[in-house]
Amino acid sequence: MTSFRHAWWIHLFTWLLVPVVSAAEAPQWLLGDWVLDSERTHELQPEQSSGGGGGFRMPSISVGGVFIPSSGGSQPGSGGARDPKVLRCASMSVDMQGPDVHFVYPGVGEEVMKPGNDQGRKSRWNQSRLTQTYATTTRKVTKTYTIESDGSLMVLVKINPKGSKSATHVRVFRRPAPSLN
């Protein structure tokens, strides 16, 4: 009887632990190099209406048909909050540093996503999706990375400023073409 109870507790503990362990596993599907697919990004970019009634149009420039927010890239009154680096890059490299996901955006900067809640940035991932959310005194930001059926990486960034309409930005990345050496 004792061995049955012992086996039952081990089974229960293992059952409860498995989702926690699998949630922290490396998102292998995301690792490696990615380049911006300007054409697909432009096609999928949602229309941001400036609408009536005090709507705001974010200053931006167009590079290769993709609208990129200007260097401030913020809503009025946001205290100069910059848009996430993934919206300002033309390529990125993703690897693991221990249990953390490390992003390198050439010419823009770096970012580390730690699983769970790290100083108000909540990051989680599984076999098909990586999501990070955080809030500041002026806005809430949600970034979602998913692999599409064609192997491209779609990044959705939703910026919800306090007292203003939210904006959703789409970026599509693909693997770089193999070099012919």
Which residue range is the domain that position 30 belongs to? 26-174
User: Quick check: is 15 in a domain?
Assistant: no
Say if pTM beats, i.e. exceeds, 0.75.
no
Nearest to 61 by CA among 83, 34, 78: 83
Structure confidence at residue 67 (pLDDT)? 55
Q: What is the pLDDT of residues 143-154, one digit of tens each?
A: 999 999 999 999
Q: What is the CATH number of the domain that holds 158?
A: 2.40.128
pLDDT, mean of residues 92-120: 96
Domain assignment present for residue 8? The answer is no
Rounded CA-CA distance 117/133 in Å is: 9
Q: Is residue 140 part of a domain?
A: yes
Question: Residue 17 domain-assigned?
Answer: no
pLDDT (tens digit, 9 = 90+) per residue, 3-17? 444 444 444 444 444
Tokens of 68: 């990129």
More confident: 87 or 66: 87
Number of Cβ within 10 Å of residue 83's Cβ equals 20
Q: Is residue 42 part of a domain?
A: yes
In a domain, 35, yes or no: yes
Q: How many structural domains is the chain composed of?
A: 1
Q: What is the C-alpha to C-alpha distance for residues 56 and 3, in angstroms, rounded to an integer?
A: 67
